Structure 1
Amino acid sequence: MVTRSWLFDAMIYMYALSLLFYFADFASANRNAKRMGTGLLLFVWVLQTAYLGVNLYGHLTEWAFSRSDVLFMFSWLIVTISLIVNRFFRIELFVFFVNVLGFAILALNVFGNPQLTPIKSSWNINDELLFIHITLAIGSYAAFSIAAIFSGMYLFLHRMLKEKKFSQTVMRLPSLEKIEQYTYLAVIIGAPLLLLALSLGIVWVVLQGDRNLLYDPKVVNSFFVLAAYGFYLFQHHSMRISGNRLAAWNLAAFLIVVINFVISNFLSGFHDWIWS
């Protein structure tokens, strides 16, 4: 029986969106973001529960579960536990990371199930996995690019104000505080998008069965990118360093993004399609 496709697509995309809201709440204690993330995650749980109930009903006469059934129940259990923790405890970081795991398991289940058909007849199921992976990665690069532009504006404005050069250009720029907020917001969006893209990339590698792909230069450098922006967020929250140094670090992190996008693609064994 074909059990595809809009139900699982809805689960994947809503799961990813809920994680973005959860990360925004963790990064800036945004109660509205937490409510949105919880609502989306709850809807994912309802869809999973409905599908799981129908699936279990089909097993009433035979208690033989496939790998797909086991993975789906595991993913459902992770979502259930995270919702309970979110309701009775204030451990946002735990909820975020446990759901990154749940997201990866759900993706492995969906895209590793031979009974599922892709949304386009000309695709195979790995094409759809790569489509979502690439979409998330491009979104993260776009967010990091915007953050880098704002950081450049911050450094320019900081220098002009320090030298007391109040030109028309300077007067038309937002305040340093506003620019720093916009930079931070862009990184908050880009970092979890890249994390989700990497989790789907790992799922793709697992389905390919070639673990050596994890040592590909672009894959390795992508983790350096994630670490660089993770350290930016850590500095913003815990170290309380000046906005000038934060902006400089953000530009340095974006340099790693450029290296990842340009140089690594010439060395990568399976990302060279970008230049074809």
Structure 2
Amino acid sequence: MLEMSMTRLYELSVILYAMSVLLYFIDFLHHNRKANRIAFWLLSIVWIFQTFFFMFRIVETGRFPILTMSEGLYFYAWVLITLSLVINRVLRVDFIVFFTNVLAFFILAVHTFAPSHHQSAAAAEKLISELLMIHITMTILAYGAFSLSFVFSILYIIQYNLLKQKKWGKRLLRMTDLTKLDYMSYVLNLIGLPMLLLGLILGVIWAYIKIDHFHWYDAKVLGSFSVLAVYSIYFYKRVVQQVQGKAIAIWNIGSFLFLLVNFFLFGSLSKFHFWYS
């Protein structure tokens, strides 16, 4: 009973950490101090949980728990979380904070879901199954956000063409203005990208645990990370190069079409993504 309770708390830590990374990503792009503050407090809660687990493990084993691979991963994740909190409060270097948290999330997820020597076989198998479900859920939610963003970009192009051709009418009046369409498309991608990143991290962890012959050159793996790259380029164009309007809308539409190719074609070619086929 105690083991399962600790397992649930580990999973809660991963969920809170995922939310923190998402908010740090928003702050990184927009200098949103409110998002940064919420991310900091979520990270603080994660740190409290992790410190409690660490102290509990010390009491349980009667030693400093870093002798096994599982313990070493846990301590590594705890150190990264601690450094993230210090950097956030003292140095305020957002670029470092964001990527430190992505790395720490990966380490924490590996420790949480990988079978370890003190877990029963049934508990380990249950965790692996739950890891797969979380991976699929987060990825599909990211795809949902990208889909809505695609719709807003389509509406943007339609509205843009109607205005350019000066075709005033009820269709034009029923659509919202270009600025709002563009902004909503961007916000949905802002939600989708970090969710896809975290979902892929969990998926890779699951594959290494569960699949005997996992290959990075699998069609679905390459396609999924290519989708991540395409949407990352979208943000680079928008935030760094300041590409706006029709050009960025067309790129977003193309990104989503590539996502569909990955979902349907690459999924059917994959050696282990059979549930997408």
Give me the whole-angstrom Cα distance separating, in 1, the residues matched to 2:103 and 2:12: 18
* Residues 61 and 139 (structure 1), Cα distance of their counterparts in 2 relative to 1, 3 Å cut: closer
- Specify which of 205, 214, 217 is matched with residue 216 of structure 2: 214
Contact 2:23 2:38 (8 Å CA) reproduced: yes
Alignment correspondent of 1:25:
27
Q: Does 1:50 align with 2:52?
A: yes
Structure 1 window deviating more from structure 2 (52-61 vs 263-272): it is 52-61
The normalised TM-score by structure 2 is 0.92
Aligned equivalent of 2:99, options 97, 100, 104: 97
Cα distance in 1 between the residues matched to 2:14 and 2:160:
42
Q: Are the equivalent residues in 2 in contact too, given 1:202–1:214 (CA < 8 A)?
A: no
Tell me, what secondary structure is at the counterpart of 1:2? helix
CA shift at 1:242, angstroms? Answer: 3.0
Distance 1:197 1:117, change over 3 A: farther
**How do residues 6-25 of structure 1 correspond to structure 2 at under 5 angstroms?**
6-25=8-27
Q: Which residue of 1 aligns with 2:73?
A: 71
| Matched residue SS, 1:214 | coil
Q: Choose which of 199, 213, 216 in structure 2 pairs with 1:197.
A: 199
Structure 1 residue 60 displacement after superposition: 2.6
Q: Percent identity at matched positions? A: 35
Counterpart selection for 1:106 from 105, 108, 111: 108
Give the alignment of 1:111-126 within 5 angstroms.
111-114=113-116, 115-116=118-119, 124-126=126-128
Maintained 8 Å contact 2:138/2:198: yes
Question: Any conservation in 1 of the 2:57–2:65 contact (CA below 8 Å)?
Answer: no
Unaligned runs of 5+ in 1: none
Mapping for residues 1-276 of structure 1, pairs under 5 Å:
2=3, 4-60=6-62, 65-114=67-116, 115-116=118-119, 124-208=126-210, 210=212, 212-275=214-277
3-state DSSP of counterpart to 1:219: helix
Distance in 2 of aligned mates of 1:64 and 1:237: 42
Q: Which amino acid aligns with 2:176?
A: P
Specify the SS of the correspondent of 2:215.
helix
Distance 1:78 1:122 in 2: 25
Conservation of the 8 A alpha-carbon contact between 2:141 and 2:192:
yes
Structure 2 portions without partners, runs of 5+? none
Kept after mapping to 1: 8 A contact 2:58/2:64: no
Q: Check the 8 A contact 2:155/2:181 in 1, yes or no.
A: yes
Against the structure 1 CA distance between its residues 49 and 260, is the aligned structure 2 distance closer, same or farther, given a 3 Å change threshold? same
Q: Which amino acid aligns with 2:39?
A: G
Q: 8 Å contact 2:66–2:75 — kept in the other structure?
A: no
- Measure how far apart 1:217 and its partner are: 0.4
DSSP 3-state at the match of 2:3: coil
The alignment of Structure 1 onto Structure 2 pairs a total of residues equal to: 274
Higher relative contact order (CA 8 A, sep 6+): 1
What is the CA-CA distance between 1:63 and the residue it aligns to?
A: 6.7
CA distance in 2, matches of 1:64, 1:247: 50
What's the CA shift for 1:124? 2.4
What RMSD over aligned residues (CA atoms) do the two structures have, in Å? 2.1
Superposition TM-score, scaled by structure 1 size: 0.93
Q: Closer, same or farther in 2 for the Cα pair 1:211/1:234, shift >3 Å?
A: farther
